[in-house]
Amino acid sequence: MTVLAGILAAYGMVYADVWLRARSAYQEGEKYLEWDRRPELKAAYLDRVLVEKQTRLQGDWAARGITAVELKERLALARFERDEAIKESSLKYAYVWFQTAVELFSPPESRWVIRSRQRMAAAKELWKKELDAQRIPHQDYMLE
């Protein structure tokens, strides 16, 4: 009985872990889809991240952890990273997160995997349209 209880407990923990990871991946995909629909949310988030980095770097500089030249370079790098993240396709990331839920966290076929499978196809089509609008040549195998 103890062995059976241990096996069932281990199975339950694995199931719960995979279920929670699929839910997390689905939610990340939804976040990126929302960022595509409302780019101002993406910009606001990335601006907050930039401010946090700037504050941390200025604290390092004030504590004499880095020099003024290093501070200037790191601040420029942080702004560059933010600008590049703004330019990146939110649809690409949405597709990848949904794909992650489907490919890595199934079985079991949880509701998050089922939803991700549905959203993955829609995100891929939107991503293709975005690439076509930007006149970026692509084939289906390139998007996998």
User: 46 is in which domain, residue-wise?
Assistant: 2-143
pLDDT digits (tens, 9 = 90+) for 109-118: 889 999 999 9
pTM (2 d.p.): 0.83
Q: Measured in Å, how far apart are the chain's first and last C-alpha atoms? A: 46
What's the pLDDT at 64? Answer: 81
What is each CA distance from 1 to 4, 7, 13, 35, 143, in whole angstroms?
5, 10, 18, 51, 49
User: Exposed, middle or buried: residue 34 (CB in 10 Å: 0-12, 13-18, 19+)?
Assistant: middle
Q: What does pLDDT average to over the chain?
A: 92
Res. 50: pLDDT tops 90: yes
What's the pLDDT at 63? Answer: 84
Total number of domains constituting the chain: 1
For residues 56-85, average pLDDT: 90
Residue 138 DSSP class: -
Helices (H), the chain: 2-37, 39-62, 68-87, 90-104, 111-133
What's the pLDDT at 131? Answer: 92
Positive or negative torsion for Cα 12, 18, 21, 26: negative
Residue of 90, 118, 116 lying closest to 101 (CA atoms): 116
Residue 12 DSSP class: H
Residue of 32, 52, 50 lying closest to 42 (CA atoms): 32
What's the pLDDT at 56? Answer: 92
What's the pLDDT at 82? Answer: 96
pLDDT bin (cut points 50, 70, 90) of residue 139 is confident
